Structure formats: C-alpha cells, structure tokens
C-alpha cells in the first residue's frame, strides 16, 4: 500500500471513529445526589412585567426549568423555593440560585453568563450546588432562536437554567467528551431551547428507577385540583351528599388517582400500577410507565380496579402512614370515577372547562359525547 | 481528500452552533490575546488545595505552580503560581463548571486575565490550551478538553464541535500568531 493510500485509510478510520462517537451520547460527572428531594432556593424574582413567554418573573421561569428536569428523574426531584429568603452562601450545603453582578464577591470576568459550583462529599455524593447568573447580561424567558432586543443579545433563562441544573444533577458536556450529539448539555448554548433525547437519556441513566418515560402529557395538577374542588361543591350543594370518613385528604385523592391513571395509560396492569405508587408514597421513588401509550383514542382502566386502588391507598394512609380520620363529601368511589372521567376527557382532546362540564353533565344524567377529539 | 474536506466543511456549518457556552461565551482568538495580561507556556510542577473563608461562607481554592518555559506576552517569573477556585480537600470537592483542572507534568499555554476575576484565565477553560509532544518531537496544541486545535481560526465561537483537524497546530505556529497579535495591539 502506498503512503498516500495509507494516509487515506487513516483518514477514513478517523472519520469512522468520529462517527462512532455520535452514538455514545450523554456524559456524566461521576457523582450523584442521594435519593429524595433537592431543595433549590430561588432568588431571581424581578421583573414586575411579564417575560416574553408569559412567566411572571425569573423565579417562575427557573421553576419551569426545574419541573422540566423533574419529568425525567425518578430517584430525585428538585423542589423549588421561589423568592427564598435564605441567606446566600457557598459551602453551606444549601442550594442557591440568584442574580448578581459578582460571584460571591469575585468578578465574573468578561463573557461569563453564569457560574455553577458543585460540592461533592466522598467523591460520589453531591451535597450542594449554586448557580449565579450574571446581571451584566440581558435576560428574559422565551422559546426559539436567541433574540437580540434593543440591540442587546438577550438570553433565555429557562434554557440556560436547564443546562446549569443539568450540571447540578451530574451531567457534563457531551461535546467536550469527544461526542457529537444534539444536546442542551453541550458546552455551547444557542437556538436549541429544550432537552433532547440525549439529555433525557443522561437524566434517566443517573436518576431513572426503571420503566419508560411516558409519551402522554397529563393536565397540570392545579387544573385537576380545580375540577375536584368543583366536584366537592357539587356533591355538597347539589347532590346533598353526606360526609364520609376517609384517611386520604382530598388533594391526595386527586394526586394518586392521577398517578394511577398515568401508570395504567402507560400500559401497566393494576397491581404494577399500585405497587409503583406505593413505592412513590413510601420510598419517594418515581418509576417510569410500563410502555408507551399507543396512538389514537386513549383507553382507561375498568372502574372496579380504580376503586380497588382507592381502597388500598386509603388503607395505606390509615395503617402504614398513621393518618387520622377525615371527612369528605366525595367518597372514594365518586373520586375515582369522576377524576378518571375528567382525565379521560383531558387526554382525549378536551380543555379544562370542557372536561369539567362534560363530567358534570354525566353526573346530572345528561348525555355527552365520549371524547372531544374527532 | 477533497471529499473529506467537503464533509468537514459541512460538519462545521451544521455543528458550529450559535452563541457560546452557557457559562462562558467563548472568546475569539483576538479577544483571548487582548484580554490576557500575560501569556506563557508552563509545565505543572505542583498543586495544593486550601480552604478560604468568604463573607458568604467558605470555599476551596487550588494553587497551581508552573515552571515557565516561554513568555509570549507580559511577564512571568521562572516559577509562577495561579489560584483557581475549586479543588479537593480530603473527602470534600468543590467544582466550578468550566474551570480547568491540572495534573502535575502537564504542559499548557495559559492566557492569564489582565484583570482579577473568579477565573485567573481569560474565559475559564478557553484560556487554557494543552501542549503535547508528538512522536517526532514536535510540540502541538490541543484545547482544554483535549481536542486537536488545527488553527487559531478554530478558537472561539466558531470552534468546530467535531474533531475536524486531524493534526493539531504546532506550538511554534501558535506562538507566532499570539506574538503577532500582541505586537499589533502595542502598535495601536
């Protein structure tokens, strides 16, 4: 083989190796948080006017970033404390996120958007992480390409925060580990404004408890809670229901029925769904669903299984968690039937108000179409 | 080879990205040189981590000692030390994302910031380049993360995301470019 051909072969070999790297994916830093809640103190609050994407302030934008990451972790969950009043400090085992013109009294230096520090104990266990955003730059919250506003490059806090919080969790820059993947965790930020499959795979590798990430978006919890408040009022005022004894409070009912539905829609059978929720309650470990939900109309579990679950959770609260007896106008059966019906409408194309009125029409014995989606 | 070059060009256009690192916007080569008060080539002789007290708590710093081989801009003693925020003491590690870390024996080109800041180097990791000697005894330059630096055009926001330069540039080529740029600054 001539020297020229040998060089050509070497060149091809290098390209092949470089291509192979693209399939390796995310990079991690070798340390993790212990299972449980990671409390993050947010002190980013201004401005008074809404940000471009509608967030009322930067704490809300950062909370969205934390919640987005939470969707893909089971063993740990960020717990945001907006408008925190905790005194800022480094090395205090408290996680702080705030704006400042300096990083703990030290100049950022030019071109530094944000500084993230991580504290690790024993080489593997994370103990603290602080993120300080530099006020020398213009910040907002928006989706899409990087914006220039009034002649200034303006940074989207949500995507920068997701990147920095990814570091807090233990993700590194894949592009600085010889890999070429599309990832928000790459060392450069730009027009990419959301987590990619590679970022999610990294989060699952660090903090996944098994299972599959659901492909179904459930309605926000505040809307399901709002539905239940209206249901309580209807049971009390219109149906004149008597109070019943329960060990699970009304908010808990909504949360766990929604979780049970989440697993069932995610192709788990009754006992698997119930055992995963019990692990959530007792061990605070969230596990993925059993399989992706098939496209088309989303089918729901039989009501008797939902009721069995409700009885079991109520018993768990009474026996294992030692909760006291409470009263409610909606009994366990009513809660299961109507919350699941509300969720069924929501997952099949109905908005909040539409789903509420369709459920209430059923309760009042009126006919209503089964789904909103054509 | 032309096809390989074309592939490289396409990859550059696709993966070059827009702005810069989340933590630090990568400085251009000119900004790297102009932002540095001192630029030198040095080998890590020693490093030591220590606790510091701050008004907001405590932190760890690491003092890294370099044997200076060559000074390209400003002045530096034969043995120069730089202090980096972060480090490990016993079981406790404090890391600052983007801050370079060193090992004894490593050779580096260091762009030391003219003004004191959290990082002693211009643009955190961008202000550190590694020097490797190839099998022919030629000193060649790599980025902080160990990628081949083909030319000064690959420094900064346009740095390719893929390893496009199979052969890193020579240290002597980088020295010439830095000195020329620093000389041009002085002429102004």
B181, pLDDT greater than 90: yes
Token pair 């209430």 in the structure block, residue: A360
CA dist B27 and A90 (Å) reads 28
Joined together, the tokens standing for residue A109 give 């230096």
Could you give the 3-state DSSP secondary structure of residue A67?
helix
Regarding whether A173 and A31 lie in a shared domain, the answer is yes
| B31 to chain A, closest Cα gap in Å | 10
pLDDT band at B157 (very low <50, low <70, confident <90, very high): low
Q: Does A107 touch chain B (CB under 8 A)?
A: yes
The interface predicted TM-score (ipTM) is 0.80
Closest-approach residue (CA) in chain A for B1: A8
Q: Which of A111, A160, A178 sits opposite B123 (nearest CB)?
A: A111
Higher pLDDT, A22 or A323: A323
Q: pLDDT (tens digit, 9 = 90+) per residue, A299-315?
A: 888 888 899 999 999 99
Residues 23-42, chain B, touching A (beta carbon < 8 A): 23-27, 31, 35
Q: Does A90 touch chain B (CB under 8 A)?
A: yes
Total Cβ atoms within 10 A of residue A156: 24
A232, pLDDT greater than 80: yes
E-assigned strand segments in A183-295? 188-189, 244-246
CATH architecture of the region B29-187: Beta Barrel (2.40)
CA dist B14 and B17 (Å) reads 8
| B123 to chain A, closest Cα gap in Å | 7
Q: Mean pLDDT throughout A239-248? A: 90
Regarding whether A237 and A180 lie in a shared domain, the answer is no
At B56 the pLDDT is: 81
Regarding whether A182 and A239 lie in a shared domain, the answer is no
Higher pLDDT, B155 or B161: B155
Computed over every residue of chain A, the mean pLDDT equals: 86
What is the total count of domains within chain A? 2
Could you give the 3-state DSSP secondary structure of residue A140?
strand
At B188 the pLDDT is: 67
Question: Residue A31 maps to which CATH number?
Answer: 3.40.390.10
Regarding whether A234 and A153 lie in a shared domain, the answer is no
User: What residues of chain B lie within 8 A of the CB of A145, using their CB?
Assistant: 18
Q: Which of A18, A106, A122 sits opposite B162 (nearest CB)?
A: A18
Regarding whether A317 and A171 lie in a shared domain, the answer is no
pLDDT band at A3 (very low <50, low <70, confident <90, very high): very low
The answer as to whether A16 is a domain residue is: no
Q: Does A189 touch chain B (CB under 8 A)?
A: yes
Regarding whether A159 and A245 lie in a shared domain, the answer is no
Burial of A33 (C-beta count, 10 Å sphere; 0-12/13-18/19+): buried
pLDDT band at A254 (very low <50, low <70, confident <90, very high): very high
Regarding whether A276 and A305 lie in a shared domain, the answer is yes
Percent of chain A's residues with pLDDT above 70: 93
Joined together, the tokens standing for residue A49 give 């006017």
Regarding whether A265 and A189 lie in a shared domain, the answer is no
At A236 the pLDDT is: 93
At B161 the pLDDT is: 53
Contact assignment for B23 to A114 by CB distance below 8 Å: yes
Q: What are phi and psi of A373, to 5 degrees?
A: -65, 135
Show which of A207, A233, A264 is a domain's final residue: A207
Q: Mean pLDDT throughout B1-20? A: 35
Regarding whether A243 and A139 lie in a shared domain, the answer is no
Show which of A179, A207, A235 is a domain's final residue: A207
Q: Does A191 touch chain B (CB under 8 A)?
A: yes
CA dist B114 and A151 (Å) reads 28
B113, pLDDT greater than 90: yes
Cβ atoms A102, A84 nearer than 8 A: no
Cβ atoms B82, B64 nearer than 8 A: yes
Contact assignment for A189 to B58 by CB distance below 8 Å: no
CA dist B21 and A153 (Å) reads 14
Cβ atoms A311, A346 nearer than 8 A: no
CA dist A17 and B41 (Å) reads 31
At A99 the pLDDT is: 96
Q: pLDDT (tens digit, 9 = 90+) per residue, A140-193?
A: 999 999 899 999 989 999 999 999 999 999 998 888 776 778 899 988 788 899
Regarding whether A241 and A156 lie in a shared domain, the answer is no
At B159 the pLDDT is: 57
The answer as to whether A166 is a domain residue is: yes
CA dist B10 and A208 (Å) reads 36
E-assigned strand segments in A106-204? 106-107, 114-121, 125-134, 138-140, 147-149, 152-156, 171-172, 188-189
pLDDT band at B158 (very low <50, low <70, confident <90, very high): low
The H-or-E segment that residue A363 falls in is helix A352-363
At A246 the pLDDT is: 92
Q: Mean pLDDT throughout B162-173? A: 77
Distance between the two ends of chain B, CA-based, in angstroms? 42
Regarding whether A253 and A117 lie in a shared domain, the answer is no
Regarding whether A229 and A196 lie in a shared domain, the answer is no
B83, pLDDT greater than 60: yes
Q: Does A284 touch chain B (CB under 8 A)?
A: no
At A178 the pLDDT is: 67
The parent domain of residue A146 ranges over: 27-207
The answer as to whether A174 is a domain residue is: yes
Angle at which helices A332-347 and A352-363 pack, to 10 degrees? 140
B21, pLDDT greater than 70: no
Higher pLDDT, A65 or A45: A65
Show which of A207, A241, A268 is a domain's final residue: A207
Domain borders along chain B are 29-187
Q: Which of B19, B22, B30 to mutate to test the interface with A (most CBs of A within 10 A)?
A: B22
CA dist A132 and A116 (Å) reads 7
- Read off the pTM: 0.69
Closest-approach residue (CA) in chain A for B143: A176
A100, pLDDT greater than 90: yes
Edge to edge, what strands does the sheet with B36-54 contain? B79-85, B57-73, B36-54, B107-113, B128-133, B139-142
């Amino acid at each position: 083989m001539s020297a020229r051909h040998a060089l050509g072969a070497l060149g091809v070999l290098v390209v092949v190796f470089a291509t192979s790297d693209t399939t390796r994916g995310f990079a991690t830093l070798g340390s993790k948080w212990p299972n449980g809640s990671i409390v993050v103190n947010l002190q980013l609050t201004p401005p008074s006017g809404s940000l471009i994407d509608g967030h009322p302030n930067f704490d809300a934008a950062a909370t969205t970033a934390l919640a987005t990451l939470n969707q893909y972790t089971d063993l740990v969950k960020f717990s945001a404390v907006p408008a925190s009043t905790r005194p800022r400090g480094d090395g205090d085992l408290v996680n702080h996120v705030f704006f400042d013109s300096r990083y703990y009294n030290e100049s950022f230096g030019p071109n530094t958007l944000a500084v993230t520090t991580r504290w690790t104990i024993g080489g593997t266990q994370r103990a603290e992480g602080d993120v300080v955003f530099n006020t020398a730059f213009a910040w907002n919250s928006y989706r899409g390409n990087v914006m220039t506003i009034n002649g200034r490059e303006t940074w989207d806090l949500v995507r920068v925060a997701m990147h920095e919080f990814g570091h807090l969790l233990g993700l590194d820059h894949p592009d600085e580990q010889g890999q070429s993947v599309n990832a928000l965790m790459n060392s450069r930020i730009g027009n990419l404004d959301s987590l990619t499959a590679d970022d999610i795979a990294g989060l699952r590798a660090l903090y996944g408890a098994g299972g599959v990430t659901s492909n179904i978006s459930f309605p926000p919890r505040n809307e399901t809670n709002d539905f239940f408040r209206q249901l309580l009022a209807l049971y009390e005022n219109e149906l004149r229901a008597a109070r019943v004894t329960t060990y699970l409070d009304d908010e808990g009912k909504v949360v766990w029925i929604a979780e049970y539905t989440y697993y069932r829609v995610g192709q788990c059978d009754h006992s698997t769904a119930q055992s995963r929720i019990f692990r959530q309650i007792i061990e605070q470990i969230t596990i993925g669903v059993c399989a992706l939900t098939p496209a088309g109309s989303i089918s729901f579990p039989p009501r008797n299984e939902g009721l069995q679950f409700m009885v079991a959770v109520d018993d768990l609260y009474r026996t294992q968690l030692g909760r006291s007896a409470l009263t409610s106008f909606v009994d366990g059966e009513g809660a299961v039937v109507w919350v699941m019906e509300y969720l069924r409408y929501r997952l099949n194309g109905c908005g909040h108000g539409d789903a509420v009125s369709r459920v209430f029409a059923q309760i009042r014995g009126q006919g209503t179409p089964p789904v909103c989606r054509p | 080879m032309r096809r390989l070059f074309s592939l490289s060009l396409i990859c550059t256009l696709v993966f070059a990205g827009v702005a810069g690192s989340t933590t630090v916007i990568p400085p251009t080569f000119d900004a790297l040189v102009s932002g540095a008060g001192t630029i030198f080539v040095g080998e890590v002789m020693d490093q030591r981590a220590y606790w510091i007290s701050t008004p907001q708590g405590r932190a760890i710093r690491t003092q890294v000692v370099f044997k200076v081989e060559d000074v390209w801009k400003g002045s530096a003693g034969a043995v120069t030390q730089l202090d980096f925020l972060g480090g490990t003491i016993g079981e406790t590690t404090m890391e600052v994302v983007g801050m370079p870390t060193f090992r004894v024996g490593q050779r580096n080109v260091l762009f030391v910031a003219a003004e004191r800041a959290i990082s002693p180097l211009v643009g955190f990791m961008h202000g550190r380049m590694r020097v490797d000697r190839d099998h022919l005894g030629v000193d060649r330059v790599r980025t902080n993360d160990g990628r081949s630096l083909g030319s000064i055009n690959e420094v900064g926001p346009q740095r390719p995301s893929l390893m496009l330069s199979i052969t890193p540039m020579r240290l002597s080529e980088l020295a010439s470019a830095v000195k020329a740029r620093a000389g041009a600054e002085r002429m102004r």
